[in-house]
Amino acid sequence: MSIRVAINHKTVYKFDRSVSLSPHIFRLRPAVHSRTPIKAYSLRILPEEHFINWQQDPFGNILARVVFPEKTRKLSVEVEVIADMTTINPFDFFVESYAEYYPFKYTEQAIKELEPYLEVTEDGPLLKQWLKDFDTKQRTINDFMVYVNQQLYKDIKYNIRMEVGVQSCEETLTSLSGSCRDSAWLLVQILRHLGLAARFVSGYLVQLTSDVKSLDGPSGPEADFTDLHAWAEVYIPGAGWIGLDPTSGLLAGEGHIPLACTPDPASAAPVTGATDECEIEFEFSNTVTRIHEDPRVTKPYSEEQWHAINALGEEVDRRFIEDDVRLTMGGEPTFVSVDDMEGDEWNTGADGEHKRKLANELTFKLSAVFAKNPLLHYGQGKWYPGEALPRWQYGIFWRKDGVSVWQDAELLADIHKDYQFSVENAFQFMHRLCQHLHVAKRYIKTAYEDPFYYLWQEGKVPTNIDPLKSKLKDTIERRTLAKLLDQELDTPVGYALPLQWDSDKQAWHSGPWEFRREEMFLIPGNSPMGMRMPLDSLPWVAPDDRDHQEPQSLFQPLPELGDYYGAVTRRYSQLIAKKNEHPEIIEQDLADAEDKLVKVPHTALSVESRDGRLYIFMPPLTSLEHYLEIIAAVEATAATLKTPVVVEGYEPPRDFRLERLMITPDPGVIEVNIHPSSSWKELVDKTHIIYEQAHQVRLGAEKFMLDGRHSGTGGGNHITLGGATPADSPARRNRSNYLDFKIKI
């Protein structure tokens, strides 16, 4: 993938009288060693009556010697270069083994051949002081080149200087500023003082506007730009001549097109010649024009192509409306870190600490853009064979009617922040939550790790290994064991509240959880407490006697969602009001009906303190109304205790009254499951927003190969087709048209 450009460089000298021109030397042809592919070149000189002789100078540069037999009042030189701006990796080279580290010594043969490029011609006091302050400790040659170039970039301010010639090193170091040719010559002399062969380079610099604005520092020019430029090249055995540009602190890339490379700036001047004495009017222009652009990750379409695609999308929308086709479309764009493209988690690994951090930042960004007061849910994702634990899944859930699911974002905890919450905070939270749910506190069950299991595991550890110490290379089981033994096994993990909706009473119901060992010991592991409940140890209930919660049908019309915060608030207010009316009465726990056997729920909500944060594990529910009521009670409790929480466990049940956007890990990428769009414009807007927000958290949809070429992330990038509800899906309503549509795709 590349951009082909046409560089046009025109210089015109207008004389106030007819003058004779001496033979002129033009060094305006790209050098043969240019790494930027040159597809075409032309040189046009006026007056047309002239003789041109192409030749090479002693340093291999191609130059044109032009003789003008007649006097003239105008000299015009126009150069056009067609170049492919193919991305170049400036570090794509090998180095001889003896030159891998600086300092090194050239071979005797190389010293003879490089003699003009090793000559030190300036040795002033400021230059000596600069060299004295320069850190010459041993470095890899790549690090050395970057370091010396960066130091000069920091020390010398770049300016445009129209005066003829090149400043001396002392002049540049005195003013601490200079043009590109001044900085380049200073770098050449510094490198020679440091024992490295260096040469002065004049050429074209091409800078194209970036498709995506930079997150770090300037984004480059606002418009495509080209001009004559100067930089330095250093000779590294095995690699050859490597370009260093001290005006940017970077190595030369595809935008640096060399014209002449010489030991001294005087031999690299673009034009050399003389005229009779006269007054001269000088004109020049440098332009760059894009003449071809290959599709690329950051710009897959030209403006014309995108206009046509957009028009087609709007036309498809129009026809869908006419034919009553209620198609919705989602997608799964994938992203990678722009800072660590080589890390395992951004190539093959499904999980990673950096990936989780960026996914969490993206979750907050997208929730702020798409959703009004949403619930942020941290749940379990897919679990593939060979993976030790299920993958995580960050979800954003919000109501389509605009009513808040979670009112105060400050009460949603940051999963990367330690709030210093302990098991005591979990205890307080669970007891207060029972009041908001209006269920009996006596059914709260304290959860412990199983001491017998972990003592058995400790007994299996070899005698020469300390079970209290763990290393990153240890298995998950070994690290978990060390963490638990470092604590005390009789310390509660958290608290569980058996919970179920009572359809008869239209209220929440709890019941006793009794175990043969009396206390509730969790299934061994390091997953959240809610995933390790010993449900098989609960009293057995015949299948016919169990409460089965049938999932609500998505094909049936559903009523509007209610005000669950209001219901929770009123219920809690009534409880507090009764307590305040008779402060002398000691609060009693809620009682069960005497004439009815207490049922034992087999689902539970749990509150657990982990890593200084409070986690609320939501139970499995089949009704969205019930889920939202628990969420309202949880937030009301968090507000009362001023305790931010993390909501995890089971996500809200599928319901077309609730919108969802999921962020999940996949091997090498972060995947965003976009909520469906019902029109082409809506889909375009969402896609633009998601890519921009991902960019802001340092996620991108492109990677680079070793040779510098762009490539995609390697993720799925799927699209999904359906309807706002199952009944609206074109796969059901317009089956024949839908199948024909799929075949055409």
Mean pLDDT confidence for 375-397: 89
Q: Report the 3 state secondary structure along 239-258.
A: CEEEEEECCCCEECCCCEEE
Tell me, what's the pLDDT at 387?
A: 80
Tell me, what's the pLDDT at 389?
A: 77
Q: Would residue 165 count as lying in a domain?
A: no
User: Residue 657 burial (CB < 10 Å; 0-12/13-18/19+)?
Assistant: middle
Q: Would residue 180 count as lying in a domain?
A: no
Tell me, what's the pLDDT at 383?
A: 82
How many Cβ atoms from other residues are within 10 Å of residue 353's Cβ?
Answer: 9
Indicate if 505 and 626 belong to the same structural domain: yes
For helices 180-193 and 125-133, the axis angle rounded to 10 degrees is: 70
Indicate if 339 and 381 belong to the same structural domain: yes
Tell me, what's the pLDDT at 109?
A: 96
Tell me, what's the pLDDT at 552?
A: 75
Q: Is the pLDDT of residue 274 over 70?
A: yes
Residue 155 in tokens: 């020390």
Per-residue pLDDT of 670-709, as tens digits, reads: 999 999 999 999 999 999 999 999 999 999 888 777 666 6
Residues 497/602, Cβ–Cβ less than 8 Å: no
End residue of a domain, out of 578, 613, 644: 644
Q: Assign 719 a pLDDT band (cuts: 50, 70, 90).
A: confident
Residues 234/145, Cβ–Cβ less than 8 Å: yes
Q: Assign 731 a pLDDT band (cuts: 50, 70, 90).
A: confident
Tell me, what's the pLDDT at 596?
A: 47
Q: Is the pLDDT of residue 470 over 60?
A: no
Q: Would residue 576 count as lying in a domain?
A: yes
Q: Would residue 361 count as lying in a domain?
A: yes
Lowest mean pLDDT among 289-298, 469-478, 614-623: 469-478
Q: Assign 542 a pLDDT band (cuts: 50, 70, 90).
A: low
Indicate if 731 and 707 belong to the same structural domain: yes
Q: Assign 171 a pLDDT band (cuts: 50, 70, 90).
A: very high
Q: Cα–Cα distances in Å, from 232 out to 33, 186, 209?
A: 14, 9, 24
Indicate if 391 and 497 belong to the same structural domain: no
Q: Is the pLDDT of residue 465 over 80?
A: no
Show the CA angle centred on residue 161, arms to residues 160 and 166, nearest 5°. Answer: 125
Q: Is the pLDDT of residue 293 over 60?
A: yes
Indicate if 439 and 586 belong to the same structural domain: yes
Per-residue pLDDT of 340-366, as tens digits, reads: 888 889 988 888 889 999 999 999 999
- Phi, psi angle pair for 81, to nearest 5°: -125, 130
Q: Assign 275 a pLDDT band (cuts: 50, 70, 90).
A: very high
Per-residue pLDDT of 29-43, as tens digits, reads: 999 999 999 999 999
Under DSSP, is residue 517 helix (H, G, I), strand (E, B) or coil? Answer: coil
Q: Report the 3 state secondary structure along 356-385.
A: HHHHHHHHHHHHHHHCCCCEEEEEECCCCC
Tell me, what's the pLDDT at 340?
A: 87
Tell me, what's the pLDDT at 489?
A: 65
Indicate if 506 and 638 belong to the same structural domain: yes
Which CATH number covers residue 668? 3.30.590
Q: Tell me the Ramachandran region of residue 717: left when phi exceeds 0, alpha when psi lies from -120 to 50, beta otherwise.
A: left
Q: Is the pLDDT of residue 615 over 90?
A: yes
By percentage, how much of the chain surpasses pLDDT 90?
65
Residues facing 272 on adjacent strands: 25
At a CB cut-off of 8 Å and minimum separation 6, what does 695 contact? 212, 215
Indicate if 613 and 733 belong to the same structural domain: no
Mean pLDDT confidence for 503-531: 88
Q: Assign 723 a pLDDT band (cuts: 50, 70, 90).
A: confident
Residues 485/454, Cβ–Cβ less than 8 Å: yes
Residues 4/80, Cβ–Cβ less than 8 Å: no
Q: Assign 468 a pLDDT band (cuts: 50, 70, 90).
A: very low
Q: Assign 463 a pLDDT band (cuts: 50, 70, 90).
A: low
Domain that holds residue 336: 320-400+656-742
CA distance between the termini of the chain: 26
Tell me, what's the pLDDT at 726?
A: 83
Indicate if 333 and 353 belong to the same structural domain: yes
Per-residue pLDDT of 221-255, as tens digits, reads: 889 999 999 999 999 999 999 999 999 999 999 99
HSE (side-chain half, CA atoms, 13 Å) at 429: 30
Indicate if 430 and 359 belong to the same structural domain: no
Which amino acid, 298? T
Residues 246/183, Cβ–Cβ less than 8 Å: yes
Q: What is the mean pLDDT of the chain?
A: 87
Q: Would residue 636 count as lying in a domain?
A: yes
Q: Would residue 32 count as lying in a domain?
A: no
User: Residue 625 burial (CB < 10 Å; 0-12/13-18/19+)?
Assistant: middle
Which of residues 506 and 149 earns the better pLDDT score? 149
Which amino acid, 549? Q
Per-residue pLDDT of 80-131, as tens digits, reads: 999 999 888 899 899 999 999 999 999 999 999 999 999 999 999 999 999 9
Show the CA angle centred on residue 502, arms to residues 498 and 506, nearest 5°. Answer: 130
Tell me, what's the pLDDT at 594?
A: 45
d(CA 649, CA 647): 7
Indicate if 579 and 707 belong to the same structural domain: no
Indicate if 581 and 702 belong to the same structural domain: no
Q: Is the pLDDT of residue 590 over 60?
A: no
Per-residue pLDDT of 481-508, as tens digits, reads: 455 544 666 789 999 999 999 888 888 9
Indicate if 624 and 714 belong to the same structural domain: no
Q: Would residue 525 count as lying in a domain?
A: yes
Mean pLDDT confidence for 385-411: 91
Residues 160/226, Cβ–Cβ less than 8 Å: no
Q: Cα–Cα distances in Å, from 323 out to 318, 445, 731, 735?
A: 9, 57, 14, 13
Tally of domains within the chain: 2
Residue 631 in tokens: 């969420």
- What is the pTM assigned to this prediction? 0.77
Mean pLDDT confidence for 162-184: 92
Tell me, what's the pLDDT at 591?
A: 52
Q: Would residue 187 count as lying in a domain?
A: no
